[in-house]
Chains A and B, each alone.
Chain A
Amino acid sequence: MAIVWLKGTIMKSIALISLALGLAFPAANHAANWTAGMKEGKLELKSAGPIAFGPEGILLIADTKAAALAALATGDTKAAASAKLTKIEGINQKVAGLLGTAADQILIEDLAVNPISRNIYLAVSRGRGADATPVIIRVKDGQPELVSLDKAKFSRAELPDAPTESAGQGNRQSNPRRESITDIAFLEDRVLIAGLSNEEFASTLRAVPFPFKTVANGTSVEIYHGAHGRFETRAPVRTFVPFKVGNEAHLLAAYTCTPLVQFPLSQIQPGAKLKGKTIAELGNRNRPLDMIVYQKDGKDFLLLANSSRGIMKISTDQIEKMESIEAPVKDGGKKGLPYETIESWTGIDQLDRLDNQHAVVLRRGEGGALNLESLTLP
């Protein structure tokens, strides 16, 4: 379990692979025109969430139902060094009020902070049934407001859903397979996506280059394609963060049975059997929900929200020297990177970094109320 298999699927073009994944990790491309290839008009979503911010106020929205990824230029790019939020009680009621429905008829799917403006965005489902309407909400001055998708500037990339070829496709039956996206993140020039299928037990990790499209001879070309950048593991990634170890970009991924595994991005290559390095075992009965990285006193820490205990603050000081945990951890012990549990941070469903000193959390309050709170980073 602690070693995670990554199995690349069949690749068709070496050039596209290196484009999709970057065999060497490129330096941040500050000169990039991030909105290149975006169009203006109505952004149609079938579902919304998870969400994450890319550069220049671009909100990345996973649309699981459409098996697509959207990038929305929010235009919310006025820089703020810090955020004003303290606490908004009953954010679910306020959102329901705005959308003209009852609080039990909305689901807050995800939360993300715009790292430029420090405004909080929510991916919301209005309704809980098959005909639910996805909505993007921005929280401003203590109140939610709708982010218009009708006159939007956006781009979109299809995610391949079913395996490229399935033997039974002559059956003429509709394909009930669907892949749920469990987390997304932006890193330098690509969107990283973790997903889980509702049929075969394979968790996937994909890298989609961003901007999604390049314009050659006037036609939009999707760089991302079927199998490119797709890897399988045998355990579902719940949440992950990009993280630099030394000078090399890695992914730190938390699995459902809570080992924390480190993957060097440069070595994630199609067809490779990659051995992820397990750098912490964090105990059982404990599902990771969300993870962020922050700095305090010049050191990097991870915060991992989980289902059953206070939030975990994990020190990354030793991450470079950490030996991979190669043997099962017995007797319920923890192993690897040291962590402390912040007991007062309980009931947390969603988490993001608000500014250098604060995290914002979506926290369960009394009577089904969900509160949006700013908490000082521990």
Chain B
Amino acid sequence: MVARAEITVRWLETNKPIVLVSGVDRDVNARALAVYADQGDLKADMSLPPMLGRYWTEPGRLYFEPQFPLQRGVNYRAVFRPDAKAAPIVSTFKLPLQVAEPTTVVAQIYPSADVLPENLLKFYVHFSASMSRGRIYDHIHLLDERGHVVELPFLEIDEELWTPDLKRLTLFIDPGRIKRGVKPLEEIGPALQEGKRFTLVIDKAWHDSGGQPLKGDFRKAFRVGPPDREPPDPTRWKIEPPRAGTRDALRVNFPDSMDQALALRMIGVPKITGTATLEDHERLWKFTPSTEWRAGTYKLRVDSIIEDLAGNNVGKLFEVDVFENVQRSITKDVVEVPFVVQ
């Protein structure tokens, strides 16, 4: 019987097979079949555990269905050995790698301005499609004006600060390379220096969620301006109210660029729904209501945790020198600025 045993692979879906051994004894032990996901390393492959999956039998037949979908490019090896003395029957199968043109690009990097404060706190890197996690910092480089790599400018955290769809990465400048009084600053200097030019490079070797590299390198060149040590003050923002009876945008002009994500999320008009956008390098906030404005007094409501590009909050500087000033006050959580629609 055993001599006639044969392994075949049936495909339920592209990446979901069932491995079938036919011509087996009625009392075959399901564990006589093991399917391995080879790692392309002979030594490792000899001591791999079998893949997880479900086994079942029918008269003369033994089945295995892997628990997880197959991975393209991996060599799968089904081994049937009904008893220790018998020579094993081996069959291999794989899903070929898909050759596709890379399509994913860096869609935008915020802040979008090309002059950034010396004490810049973060970048947001937006991709056109979901990316892959793991060892991402290998693909992100900050170059100085001579093209030399700036050493460890970013806060590298294993958890990686992504949105759930893996389309936006938050990249913090290492706070130790921004703040005063912290040793890295004294020893290796700030990552960004006023008056100099830098380039943030996202290299194309970074793979998207589908395993394809980026379509090309992305470079954001910028010049470094003076540090921003002025906390944002909504009472000094220039509000341009819309006209009553229209759905015109409410326009709010900031003197300096604001953090893009927080400016979209932390500013609003209570009880009015609508859509906020940012323009003019995140210096102009535009809010288009879902319904027409009515004449009257409204409030612009700003959560005080909104940040400017240096991470200063409303009423609170990012860079508080705690050695000098321990009695910093805790500010209230929301600031409201009235405006009139006529």
Contacts and interface: CB of A to CB of B under 8 A. Distances in A.
26 contacts: A3-B323, A5-B328, A90-B44, A93-B44, A94-B49, A100-B35, A100-B51, A128-B133, A129-B132, A130-B209, A133-B68, A163-B303, A168-B266, A168-B303, A173-B265, A178-B164, A234-B175, A256-B155, A257-B176, A275-B326, A283-B183, A285-B151, A285-B187, A307-B156, A328-B182, A328-B323
Interface of A: 1-3, 5, 7, 10, 64-65, 89-90, 93-94, 96-103, 105, 107, 109, 125-126, 128-133, 143-146, 163, 165-173, 175-178, 180-182, 196-202, 234-236, 238, 256-257, 273, 275, 281, 283-285, 287, 289, 307, 326-330, 332, 349, 369
Contacts of B158: 109, 289, 349
Contact of B272 (A145, A170, A202): A170
A295 B311 CA distance: 41
Interface string B245-273: 00000000000000101101111111111
B59 interface: no
A167 B184 contact: no
Contact of B311 (A65, A99, A175, A201): A201
B276 A168 contact: yes
B71 A180 contact: no
B54 to A, nearest CB: 12
Interface of B: 35-41, 44-45, 47-53, 66-68, 70-71, 73-74, 76, 121-122, 130-134, 151-152, 155-166, 168, 170, 172, 174-176, 179, 181-184, 186-188, 207-210, 259, 261-262, 264-276, 287, 290, 301-303, 305, 307, 311, 318, 320, 322-323, 326, 328, 330, 333-334
A54 B259 CA distance: 39
B51 A3 contact: no
A200 B307 contact: yes
Chain B interface helix/strand/loop/mixed: loop
Contacts of A3: 322-323, 326
- Main DSSP-derived SS at the A contact region: loop
A257 B133 contact: no
B67 A100 contact: yes
A320 to B, nearest CB: 23
Contacts of A176: 163-164, 168, 261
B209 A201 contact: no
Nearest to A99: B68
A284 B266 CA distance: 35
A102 B74 contact: yes
Contacts of B326: 3, 275
Given A200-B262, A273-B330, A94 B70 contact: no
Contacts of B208: 129
Given A130-B209, A180-B157, A101 B68 contact: yes
A172 B274 contact: yes
Contact of B157 (A89, A102, A170, A196): A196
A196 B275 CA distance: 27
Contacts of A64: 159
B157 A284 contact: no
Contact of B159 (A126, A145, A167, A180): A180
